[in-house]
A and B are shown apart, each in its own frame.
Chain A
Amino acid sequence: MKISISGTLNQALRRIIPLLCAAALLAACTPPPEPPQLSRGTLLPSPKPLLDFTLTDHTGAAFTRANLTDGWTFAFFGYTHCPDVCPTTLASLVQLRRQLEGTMPSGELPGTVFISVDPERDTPEQLAEFMPYFHPEFLGVTGDEEQILTVTRQLGILHAKAEDAGADDYLVDHSAAIILFDPDGAFHAVFGVPHDPVAMAGDFLALKHYYEAIQ
């Protein structure tokens, strides 16, 4: 009985081995895909997984590292009292989404998260009246100062109240970069200013294609 099994196994192996050899040969001949050349973004040499964090989104639900693993996510840091740079960047992110809408099923579109660097004034309620104005799918996220720092420190995002901060209408300096997280929730690429939605859409598609090719 044993002999018969090993005989069958041998036969099976004899058939499979040439196929395996052919597959190995093919793999050896096909060079691994090259990282894409980006026009606006900078790809991290290796994606950086994030340590745990807990924030609150504009619906009042918890926003954690797990929320970054539903798919790709663009994140921008700002504050709702910012009348110039933040609305301009959010409008660019809306345009970026429109650029991508025709290229993939809506379920695969990257998420967009606006993370407040002004926890004093940006409550979830304040964000709930601010965020949907730009796009119903965009998510506003806030937390206390320490919770926000837990995220920003990992990404090299800076923020500070401006020196000439008045009592109530103070300004906040903040990094202008847009961060891209991959579906593993890792910090994957960064986009500096000026934010060009068409170029960013092209870069995103190239990054997504490359990411899928090397999985």
Chain B
Amino acid sequence: MKRILLACTLLVFGGSVTAESSINVTNAWVREAPPSARMLAAYMTIENSGDEERVLSAVTSPDFGHVMLHKSEVVDGVARMSHVGELAIPAQGRLELAPGSYHLMMPAPKERLTEGDQVTFELVFGDDRLSVQADVRKKP
């Protein structure tokens, strides 16, 4: 019985121990969008308290078909969005996913998300996964 319990514990928590020990995510939110919006954006602050750089290689979510790492930037007055392969969070540093900068982009689900709803993201750092809860917010 003890063995089964241990196995279950490892199954549930095993994958994210390393990530959880050095990565901390705060202020995760999804922008509430108009009814006809096909794409949504999510933002968060990712802090790395470890002594090694951590690389966010992918994000998945049970609430969205797929999640893309994106960057918005204005170059010579032109706003551009581009896919980003991965995002590095420096040792003892942080990365802000914020409006007009790095963000997650995902297709809007069939059931419209409105302020107060919660969604889940799985942040993939190499072999580690970190589960993050994000609020849907209506704000600039």
| A→B interface (CB under 8 Å) | 80-85, 87-88, 91-92, 94-95, 121, 126-131, 133-134, 158, 162, 164, 169, 171, 173-177, 192-194
Contacts and interface: CB of A to CB of B under 8 A. Distances in A.
Contacts, number: 90
B62 interface: no
B72 A85 contact: yes
Given A88-B99, A88-B140, A192-B77, A83 B31 contact: yes
B139 interface: yes
B37 A130 contact: yes
A158 B78 contact: yes
Interface string B19-48: 000000000000101111111110000000
A193 B40 CA distance: 22
A84 B77 contact: no
Given A83-B40, A87-B33, A162-B82, A176 B140 contact: no
Given A84-B99, A87-B31, A176 B39 contact: no
B81 A162 contact: yes
B contact patch SS: strand
B77 A134 contact: no
A85 B79 contact: yes
Interface residues of B, number: 27
Contacts of A169: 38-39, 107
Contacts of A92: 140
Interface of B: 31, 33-41, 70, 72, 74, 77-83, 99-100, 103, 105, 107, 139-140
A166 B31 CA distance: 23
Contacts of A80: 34, 36-38
Between B36, B70, B72, B82, the greatest number of chain A beta carbons within 10 A of the residue's beta carbon is seen for B36
Contacts of A87: 31, 33, 37, 41
Nearest to A164: B83
B35 A133 contact: yes
